Amino acid sequence: MTRTTTSIVAAVLLALAGVDMAPAQGRGQAPPRPMGFFVTSVGIGSGGDLGGLAGADAHCAALAAAVGGGNRTWRAYLSTQARPGQPAVNARDRIGDGPWYNSKGGLISQHQSQLHGDTLIEAQRGSNLFKQFALTEKGEVVRGVGDPGPNVHDMLTGSQTDGRAFTDSADRTCNNWTSSGAGSAQVGHSDRIGNGNTSWNSSHATTGCSQADLASWGGAGLFYCFAVN
């Protein structure tokens, strides 16, 4: 196929998809858009104790496998903080380069730079990680502010807005995702609503790391999972 033909076909497909590109989800266009992003449909259940990064990654992999996405390598979008003998881990460095699509084939982000807003115009415009696209592995919209039922929009990240670990000594990661008691976790909002900003990955800190503490802030210990390959 020539480049011209390709672009005409692409233009026609775009036109068919039409409107605000949201309906591009699930229209079965080529190329395939396998799920490379989801919000965990359930938490691990022990507050901020995820069994460390390994436990969180395993949770991502198990949930993905249950819906036929087990052939990819999954990473939880979580940072850990530096400890004696252990350097910090940045969430953004764990998730590959994209593009990432949700469970209905909707684009979340083309690449790291768009996801994190590495340039001013990218940051101002934002990625496509918004409520109607930040779906669970089962394709569900995550309950957010104003929805019936408990709000569970707080996504554990332990990250700054640029996707990197915090460098101060305060706890931002429920002790590197091993505490279900004391501590604090930085969270973002899957619905992009709350706390006076629209950050998906670094809106505010929780007080406490128990499951009840997380619930009191509008969370259930959910987090983002990305496929690295």
Partner 1 sequence: MTKSRILAAVLMVSVVGSYVALAQQGPARRSPMTFFVTSRPIGDGGNLGGLAGADAHCQTLAAAVGAGDRTWHAYLSTQARPGKPAINARDRLGTGPWYNFNGEMIARDLAHLHGDTLELARLGNNLTKLTGLTEKGQIVPGLNDYPDPRDNDWDWVKTTPYSNRHEMLTGTQPDGRAFADDLDYTCDNWTSNGGPEPGAPFGPLAAAPGKPNAQIGFPDRNGGGNGSWNSSHGTRGCSQRALPMTHGVGMFYCFAIN
User: Which residues are near partner 1 by CB under 8 A?
Assistant: 11, 14-15, 18-22, 107, 116-117, 120-121, 123-133, 145-146, 161-162, 192-199, 202-204
**Least distance in angstroms from the C-beta of 174 to partner 1:** 20
**Least distance in angstroms from the C-beta of 62 to partner 1:** 29
**Least distance in angstroms from the C-beta of 183 to partner 1:** 20
Reduced DSSP (H G I as helix, E B as strand, rest coil) percent helix, strand, coil of the chain, to 5: 25, 20, 55
Nearer to partner 1, 202 or 211 (CB): 202
Question: Rounded to an integer, what distance in angstroms lies between the CA atom of residue 12 and that of residue 30?
Answer: 13
**Least distance in angstroms from the C-beta of 52 to partner 1:** 27
Q: Which alpha helices (H) appear in 29-188, and where do they start and end?
A: 52-66, 112-116, 120-125, 174-177
Residues 6+ apart with CB under 8 A from 84: none
Amino acid residing at 146: G
Nearer to partner 1, 131 or 172 (CB): 131
Nearer to partner 1, 71 or 132 (CB): 132
Question: Rounded to an integer, what distance in angstroms lies between the CA atom of residue 104 and that of residue 140?
Answer: 10
Nearer to partner 1, 32 or 196 (CB): 196
